[in-house]
Amino acid sequence: MRVARFKILFLMLMLATVARADERSLVLVTGASSGIGLAVANHLAQSGYRVLAGARSAEDMKRLNALPYIDAFALDVTSQEDVDRMVQYIREGEFKLSGVVNNAGVLIVGPAAEVWDSELDYIFGVNVRGAHRVIRAVLPLLIESGGTIVNMSSISSYMAPRMLGAYVMSKSALESYSEVMAGELAPLGVRVVSVLPGQYISNIGDSAAARVEAQEASFIESPFRAEAESTLKALQQNRRAGNPFEVAVVVESIFSSGTEGQKFVVVPRPQQHKAMMRDAIGRVLELNRNSSHPLGREELQRLFVKEHEDQ
């Protein structure tokens, strides 16, 4: 009798656990195979979400599927067919899609003026059009759930570091895209947020190096060769790069606590934040200085104080 009662209690507990898993709202994370994407997917799964993790290789998908509450999905954001299959999977599973993290991204190293058309198409195809392709496809689901879009940008969009021109262009475009959408989708109950990470451990430098090696003539006749190769080497070594878990914590807080704001800067060291703010303020001052109707110092101070108080 006691054994039968124990079995019933155990079965009820298992059913309750399954029910709680089914009740988890779904978050799609693209580019989830490594670095920030993997950290975000894993932390969201541990924080009560079910995660649909986009990856491209079978090996990456196998690793992701081994993690609790993570479902790996073969997803190349440059493929409309892959994106359509992903939406079909969500609809057929009757999941509540509460959020999207557009993390899939690539990087190209080299002087901006020497970037080939094909390389520019490649980086914009992933970093900008890929994010747009995913958002366009899942937007009806996010409107239904009142969900959140998190676009993974970069502090590089404000700092414009040398030899990363194509990357900066793509992330600046993603920033502008996010700002426009934030205003357009707010009345529909969909929130759009930009997260701007600093330098965190990832494989993006290795991917960029592999792409350079595939192009035999890269940098050979360029006056920027030494600087470009030095930049590439530094990215591969991940010197002074932070733990991507820091970014994952911020992303999870955006979903769970509704942290206010449209832009979130996450950097491993205070010096990075200071450098970014210096460049951002410099841009604002230059816009004012070279304007046909520049504001005076006191008026600029009043605007800054008012903006700070409004936030």
Residues marked active site are found at 167
Residue type, 17: T
Residue type, 188: L
Chain centroid to CA 120: how far? 19
* Among 110, 100, 108, residue whose Cα is nearest residue 124: 108
What is the residue-wise DSSP string for the chain? -HHHHHHHHHHHHHHHHHHHHHHSPEEEESS-SSHHHHHHHHHHHHTT-EEEEEESSHHHHHHHHTSTTEEEEE--TT-HHHHHHHHHHHHHTT--EEEEEE-------B-GGG--HHHHHHHHHHHTHHHHHHHHHHHHHHHHHT-EEEEE--THHHH--TTBHHHHHHHHHHHHHHHHHHHHHGGGT-EEEEEEE-SB--SHHHHHHHHHHTSTTTTTT-TTHHHHHHHHHHHHHTTT-B-THHHHHHHHHHHHT----SEEEE-SSHHHHHHHHHHHHHHHHHHHHTSSSPPPHHHHHHHHHHHHHH-
Angle at 33 between CA 27 and CA 124, to 5 degrees: 85
User: What is the phi-psi region of residue 147: left when phi exceeds 0, alpha when psi lies from -120 to 50, beta otherwise?
Assistant: beta
